[in-house]
Amino acid sequence: MIDKYRWHETLLIYCGIFLFLAFVLSPFIEGFLVSLKPLSLLFSSPYKFWPENGSFKAYFDIWTSVPRLPLYMFNSIIIALAETLIALCLIVPAAYAFARFEFPLKGALLGGFLTINMFSGAVLLIPLFRLLRSMGLLNTYFAQIVPGTAFLLATGIWLLRTYMMRIPRELDEAAWVDGASRFYIFRRIILPLAMPGILIVAMYAFLTAYAQQFIFALTFNSKSDYMPLSIGLYAFFGRQEVIWNELMAASFVGILPVMVMFIFFQRYLVAGLTAGAVKT
């Protein structure tokens, strides 16, 4: 009886996957098609979903329309990489401490991390602005990197702590009996075994840092030399009209670093997500 109706279950699963992908990808497909259309045809009536005279002209024109676009992309990548590296330097030892040690207020601190995730960065913009101004960090890379890094720590610690708790404590105890120090155990045993989890946290940190730059750059920076891509896209908004096809083209060019990173680390991401899922 189960085999008789199994094809129905498979069909329902694939239909659900197709509907989900159609819902998620439809804005990206529409944005890509808009980037291929001439600006004069974007508001034609009746609206044509598929461009008849589509071309990649907008992808070449964006560098002329906004000459500083490469600088904006470079700034976005630099800010995201800096936030990721700094966050990992803090997340990895903190996650190890929460996974292996017992100390006062441990549960309260973990609960506090979850509470931090409930607040949006916009809630803290005014105190952050006053703090960065008192430190003389406004209109610098640090004005965007420091607050961006702070909002990566809570989730990163929770993710990596959960992964490190899967590593058997017997490995630590065996090395401790052999005379290994805590730092040696952490460096030579925990880090290699936790590397798939660290890569997952690194991908999460980079993607989040790349996506959350708008609000911090808009508030803490007024110099175009340090503007990320999310702010640079405003250059396609004119007083009379918006260059929608070039705006969409620049947006797709802007997500290329994220796509390249995901494709490059996809194998490690899958390995990290499935590690420990099957017991032998």
pLDDT digits (tens, 9 = 90+) for 83-136: 999 999 999 999 999 988 888 888 888 888 777 777 777 788 888 899 999 999
Residue 237: phi, psi to the nearest 5?
-95, 110
Q: Cα dihedral angle (242, 247, 249, 253), rounded to 10 degrees?
A: 170
Burial, 120: exposed, middle or buried (Cβ in 10 Å; 0-12, 13-18, 19+)?
exposed
Cα–Cα distance between 114 and 137 in angstroms, integer? 28
Distances (CA, A) of 274 to 17, 161, 205: 20, 16, 20
Burial, 147: exposed, middle or buried (Cβ in 10 Å; 0-12, 13-18, 19+)?
buried
Structure tokens at 6: 């199994």
Which whole number is the average pLDDT over 181-201? 89
Cα–Cα distance between 115 and 255 in angstroms, integer? 30
pTM of the model: 0.85
**Residue boundaries of the structural domains of the chain:** 2-55, 59-274
- Who has greater pLDDT, 78 or 11? 78
- Who has greater pLDDT, 269 or 30? 30
3-state helix/strand/coil string of 132-149: HHHCCCCCCCHHHHHHHH
Residue 242: phi, psi to the nearest 5?
-110, 130
Cα–Cα distance between 48 and 54 in angstroms, integer? 12
Q: 86 near 149, Cβ under 8 Å?
A: yes
Q: Tell me: pLDDT of 78 over 60.
A: yes
Q: Identify the band that residue 1 occupies on the pLDDT scale cut at 50, 70 and 90.
A: very low
Q: Identify the band that residue 280 occupies on the pLDDT scale cut at 50, 70 and 90.
A: very low
Question: So what's the pLDDT on residue 139?
Answer: 92
- Who has greater pLDDT, 248 or 47? 248
Question: So what's the pLDDT on residue 277?
Answer: 46
> For the chain, what percent of residues have pLDDT higher than 90?
32
- Who has greater pLDDT, 82 or 162? 82
For 214-255, how does the pLDDT look when each residue is reduced to its tens digit (9 = 90+)? Answer: 889 989 998 889 999 999 888 888 767 888 899 999 999 998
Assign domain 59-274 one CATH number from 1.10.340.30, 2.60.120.620, 1.10.3720.10, 2.60.40.1730: 1.10.3720.10
Q: Tell me: pLDDT of 267 over 80.
A: no
Question: So what's the pLDDT on residue 237?
Answer: 84
